[in-house]
Structure 1
Amino acid sequence: MEKTLDPRFLRTRRLIMDAFLQLAMEKDFKEITIKDITSRATVNRATFYYHFFDKHDLLEKVLAEDVLQGVLSHVETEKALTVDIMQTIFNSLLQFHRSLANQCMRSYEAFTPKIEMIIKEELARVMRDFLKKKHEDWPYEKVELHSIKLSWTIYGISTKYVASGEQPNEEIIRELLEEMI
């Protein structure tokens, strides 16, 4: 059996990720040590390094595998990229950002560069999949550039509203998304 499917492997990985998230709510990212994480997760140091390279790797995995799943999981099963799907992605992303900023306020600023990189990559991947289906005749470079344009634009708009604390005007957002598609 592959180790990633072993329930013990998954349970231990989950313990480490949960411990990290709890610590991120209490301390700044730079103050969190591997010892803090392993003590909270009740695992030894070697076990931590069996699952993750370092705390930066752990942060990336938590964001990509755990937190972002809620943002993108419900749209990946859709057949085509529509304004409604784009609106759903935007609203989920906005909610994700606000939730993360509120839950992990102390570490949110430290997470921001990683969050940006991971979200843009994941959004681009989803957009690329949609665009490949819709435009089978497009060369790879065109699909890639359009997926980057869509993902970076949605990310940028969502961060504008998180930073300002304003509520987006749904009509304006919808109009912008229609233009993008």
Structure 2
Amino acid sequence: MPVNANDPRVKRTRQLLMQAFTELLDQKKNIYSISVIDITTRATVNRATFYAHFEDKFAFLENWMLEKSKMILKKRLPEESLFTFDCLPTLIQTVFEFLKGFRKYIAPGDKQIEPMFEIAMQKEVHQLLLKWLREEAVTSVSQERLEATALVISWGIFGSALQWSRNTQGRTVETMVKEVMGVIAASLVPVLEPRTK
């Protein structure tokens, strides 16, 4: 039977599970080595409770990654209604730093988990960009064009950060932010032209 995500008890239990997992990660464990039993023991709940909330460890990880992505973006960026073109470098830097930090928790056995992180972070970046573009774009730009622009930019930011986090080649986050920002700014000109000049 599915749980009601709005029930305060459900929220509290999920929070305990998420916090337990984060604490285990902070103890220098890698993601792959943390078991459901490790999580439930740390959270002081039983396995049946875990499985009442999540189908399996991968469903839990997907939820944890989505919540972590939201939290990090919310902490580093202004409220969505205050997001502007000038916030883009901060958004890019946040994604790059998040992926760099995430690398320390990955071991060779974690490769199947990496796509979950990609989807969670890219989804949050895409939604933020799409909301901003819908508010700021030239009125003659179609919704389809705005959606495509937000999709391409979000994957561009995320893909660049992912490749860089795998092999920095001695390039700093600051250098990468400038390079990615140059490409993004050029792709936004047709959509925001009157407002960004």
In the alignment, structure 1 residue 180 sits paired with structure 2 residue 181: no
Letter in 2 for 1:172: E
Among 139, 149, 152, the residue aligned to 2:152? 149
In the alignment, structure 1 residue 63 sits paired with structure 2 residue 65: yes
Among 157, 163, 172, the residue aligned to 1:167? 172
Asked if structure 1 preserves the Cα contact closer than 8 Å seen for 2:69 and 2:120, the reply is: no
- Closer, same or farther in 2 for the Cα pair 1:132/1:26, shift >3 Å? same
Asked if structure 1 preserves the Cα contact closer than 8 Å seen for 2:80 and 2:128, the reply is: no
- Give the Å deviation of 1:37: 2.0
User: For residues 105 and 91 of structure 1, what CA distance do their matches in structure 2 show?
Assistant: 21
Structure 1, unmatched stretches of 5+, are none
- Give the Å deviation of 1:14: 1.7
User: For residues 173 and 143 of structure 1, what CA distance do their matches in structure 2 show?
Assistant: 19
Letter in 2 for 1:16: L
Matches within 5 A, 1:15-164: 15-24=16-25, 25-29=28-32, 31-72=33-74, 74-82=77-85, 84-102=86-104, 104-106=105-107, 109-135=111-137, 136-164=139-167
Among 2, 6, 28, the residue aligned to 1:4? 6
Asked if structure 2 preserves the Cα contact closer than 8 Å seen for 1:80 and 1:134, the reply is: no
Query: SS in structure 2 opposite 1:138?
Result: coil
User: For residues 7 and 126 of structure 2, what CA distance do their matches in structure 1 show?
Assistant: 27
TM-score normalised by the chain length of structure 2: 0.75
Asked if structure 1 preserves the Cα contact closer than 8 Å seen for 2:17 and 2:43, the reply is: yes
Letter in 2 for 1:160: Q
User: For residues 9 and 95 of structure 1, what CA distance do their matches in structure 2 show?
Assistant: 31
Output the aligned Cα RMSD.
2.5
TM-score normalised by the chain length of structure 1: 0.81
User: For residues 90 and 174 of structure 1, what CA distance do their matches in structure 2 show?
Assistant: 8
User: For residues 99 and 14 of structure 2, what CA distance do their matches in structure 1 show?
Assistant: 24
- Give the Å deviation of 1:10: 3.0
Write out per-residue CA displacement over residues 71-107 of structure 1, whole angstroms, 9 at most, x where no aligned residue.
245244344540x2111111011111111222x1337
Query: SS in structure 1 opposite 2:6?
Result: helix
Q: Identity percentage over the alignment?
A: 25
- Give the Å deviation of 1:57: 1.4
